[in-house]
Amino acid sequence: MIKSKPRPTFAPSTQIDMPKAKPIAKESSTEEKIKEAARKLFTQKGFAATRTRDIADEAGINLALLNYYFRSKQKLFDIIMMENFRQFIHGISFNFQDKTLSLEQKIEKVVSMYIDFLTANPDLPLFILTELRNNPDQLAASIEGEIGETRTELFAQLKVAHAAGYIGIEPSHLVANLFGLTVFPFVARPILQKVTGADDTQFNNLMQQRKELIPIWIKTMLQPPKPTK
Amino acid sequence: MIKSKPRPTFAPSTQIDMPKAKPIAKESSTEEKIKEAARKLFTQKGFAATRTRDIADEAGINLALLNYYFRSKQKLFDIIMMENFRQFIHGISFNFQDKTLSLEQKIEKVVSMYIDFLTANPDLPLFILTELRNNPDQLAASIEGEIGETRTELFAQLKVAHAAGYIGIEPSHLVANLFGLTVFPFVARPILQKVTGADDTQFNNLMQQRKELIPIWIKTMLQPPKPTK
DNA sequence: GTCTATAAAGTGATAGAC
DNA sequence: GTCTATCACTTTATAGAC
C-alpha cells in the first residue's frame, strides 16, 4: 500500500522535503528503496559522478520511477544530503547538551560514539566534507538549527575557562584536535593502511584503541600550564 | 616556439606522461596554460564535476586544443593527479630522509613545512583524499616509488623503539595523530570556521600557532609511560 | 598550432501505455 | 505505480579549414 503523490507542475525548488513519519515501519517501499540506493551511491561517489540510471539499477526499479517519486536528481540529492548531515552532527549535539556530564566525560562519550558511528559509516565524513565545500552556505542554517545554541554556549564557557587559566588550550584548537584525532583516520584510511601496512581488521582494532587513547591525549592538552617551580 | 606533438592513433591508455624538463623556463606555453587551468578546476571540483569546456575557457583557448595536446580528459586528469600527489608527499619524504635530524626535529620540520604548504594549497588535501578513494590501487605504486624505502625503514625503527619502551605510542597512532592534527583543520575548514566563528585571517593565525603547538602535543604523546612511583 | 563545425555518446527528464 | 520509448540537452572528442 503506497501513498499516491501528485506531481506539482511548478514545485518550489528551494523547498526540501523533510523525512516524514512512516505509517508502516517494516515495509521497504519503493520510495525507500530508491532513497537507500541513492544514499549509497551519492555517499560513495558524490553528486556529479553519480548517474540517475545507476541509482535506479541499484534500487531494482526503472529510471522513470525515480523522477516520479523525487522529481529530479537534485531534489533527491538534497534529501540525502540533509539526512546524512543531520546524522553526522546529531551525536555531537546530543552528548554536548547533557548538562550532567563534565567536559572530560562529554569528550569520552563523543569520541566513543563517533568511532562506532564512523566504523559503520566509513564513507560519510568524506562525503560531508566534499559536498559541504561545494555548498558553503546551504548548510550554515542546518548547523545552526541542529547545534546552534549548544555550540555558542559551550564555546563561550570554554573561552572563559581558558582565559581564567583553567584549561591550557584555546577552544578552537581543542575542537580541531578532537575531530582531527577522531575523524581524520577514517578520511585518510586508504593512505594510512598503505603507510602502516594494516589490514582491515587491524585498522578497526586501532580505531577501537583510540576510544581510550584520544580522551587521554585530549586531557593532557586540557591541563593548564604548570606553575614554574 | 612550441614543440610539435604527433597524435598516435592508438595511445596506450595506461601510460602516463611524466613531466618533462622544459627547455624554456619562463614562457607560459599553451600546453602549460591548459595544465594550470586543469589543475585549478580539477583540484577544486574533482574529475566528474569539471567540464573540459570550462578548462578551455579558463585557459583562454579553444576546446579542440585541449584534445590536441592531451588527447582526452582522462589523460589530462591523470597528469594533474600524479603531479599533485607527488607534491603532496614530497615534503614528507624529503624531511624524513634527513638522517641528521632526531625524530622530534623531523616532526617539527614536517609540521611547519606542511602548514605553509597547505595554507598555500588549501584544496589539495581534499582532492587527494577524494580521488585516492576512487582509485585505491592506482597510487599504491606511486607511494612506494616516492617514500617506500624511507617509510619501511622509519616505521621499523619506530616499532622497535615502542617495543623497547622508548616511546609511549604505537607508530600507527603516531602517524594518524601527526597528520590528523596537521591536515584535518584544512580539510574541515568550512565547518571549523563556522563552529569557532573564525574569519579567514583568524583561521590562518590559528594554523600558524599550530606550527609550535603540534610538536609539543606530539612530544607528550611520545613520552614513555612513567614508572609507577 | 589554432580555430569552427559537427559527430557520437551520455544523461536527466517526460510522455503515454498498461 | 510501474513500465518502455523517446525527447532535449550536455559533454567529450574529432574532422577539416586556415
3-state secondary structure string, chain B? CCCCCCCCCCCCCCCCCCCCCCCCCCCCCHHHHHHHHHHHHHHHHHHHHCCHHHHHHHHCCCHHHHHHHHCCHHHHHHHHHHHHHHHHHHHHHHHHCCCCCCHHHHHHHHHHHHHHHHHHCCCHHHHHHHHHHHCCCCCHHHHHHHHHHHHHHHHHHHHHHHHCCCCCCCHHHHHHHHHHHHHHHHHCHHHHHHHHCCCHHHHHHHHHHHHHHHHHHHHHHHCCCCCCC
Q: Which of B129, B179, B190 sits opposite A126 (nearest CB)?
A: B129
CA A160 to chain centre: 28
Rg of chain B's alpha carbons, rounded to an integer?
21
- Average pLDDT for chain B: 86
B23 CB neighbour count, 10 Å cutoff: 8
Q: Which of A136, A175, A194 sits opposite B140 (nearest CB)?
A: A194
- Mutation target among B110, B142, B172 for the A interface, most CBs of A within 10 A: B172
Burial environment of residue A106 by CB neighbours within 10 A (0 to 12, 13 to 18, 19 or more): middle
Rg of chain A's alpha carbons, rounded to an integer?
21
Give the pLDDT of residue A27: 65
B68 Cβ nearer than 7 Å to chain C strand: yes
| Main-chain dihedrals φ then ψ at residue A168, nearest 5 degrees | -95, 25
**Which ranges of A73-199 would DSSP assign to H, the alpha helix?**
73-96, 103-120, 124-134, 140-163, 171-187, 189-196
Give the pLDDT of residue B27: 64
In CATH, the number for domain A30-71 is 1.10.10.60
Residues of chain B contacting A211 with CB distance shorter than 8 Å: none
Q: With a cut of 80, say whether residue A11 has pLDDT above it.
A: no
Q: With a cut of 60, say whether residue B140 has pLDDT above it.
A: yes
Give the pLDDT of residue A91: 76
Residues of chain B contacting A148 with CB distance shorter than 8 Å: none
The C-alpha cell 571549523 sits at B192
Asked if B184 has any chain A CB less than 8 Å from its own CB, the reply is: yes
Tens digit of pLDDT for each residue in A64-89? 999 999 999 999 999 999 999 888 88
Q: Is A47's CB within 8 Å of B49's CB?
A: yes
Q: With a cut of 50, say whether residue A16 has pLDDT above it.
A: no
The C-alpha cell 589539495 sits at B124
Residues of chain B with CATH 1.10.357.10: 75-222
CA dihedral B228, A220, A190, A76 (to 10 degrees): 140
- CA–CA separation, B223 and B229 (whole Å): 16
CATH 1.10.357.10, applies to A81-222 = yes
Residues of chain B with CATH 1.10.10.60: 30-71
The C-alpha cell 583510540 sits at A210
pLDDT (mean) for A28-36: 96
Asked if B168 has any chain A CB less than 8 Å from its own CB, the reply is: no
Percent of chain A with pLDDT over 70: 86
A184, B176 contact by CB (below 8 A): yes
Q: Which of B176, B187, B209 sits opposite A192 (nearest CB)?
A: B176
Residues of chain A with CATH 1.10.357.10: 81-222
Distance from CA(A27) to C1'(D3), angstroms, rounded:
22
Which residue of B lies nearest to A155 if distances are taken between CA atoms? B196
- Mutation target among A154, A187, A211, A216 for the B interface, most CBs of B within 10 A: A187
> Residues of A numbered 114-153 whose beta carbons fall under 8 angstroms of chain B's beta carbons: which are they?
126, 129-130, 132-134, 136, 140, 143, 151
A36 CB neighbour count, 10 Å cutoff: 15
The structure's pTM equals: 0.88
Q: Is A209's CB within 8 Å of B136's CB?
A: no
CATH topology for B75-222 is: Tetracycline Repressor; domain 2 (1.10.357)
B127 CB neighbour count, 10 Å cutoff: 23
Lowest-confidence region among A155-164, A209-218, B85-94, B186-195: B85-94
Tens digit of pLDDT for each residue in A35-66? 999 999 999 999 999 999 999 999 999 999 99
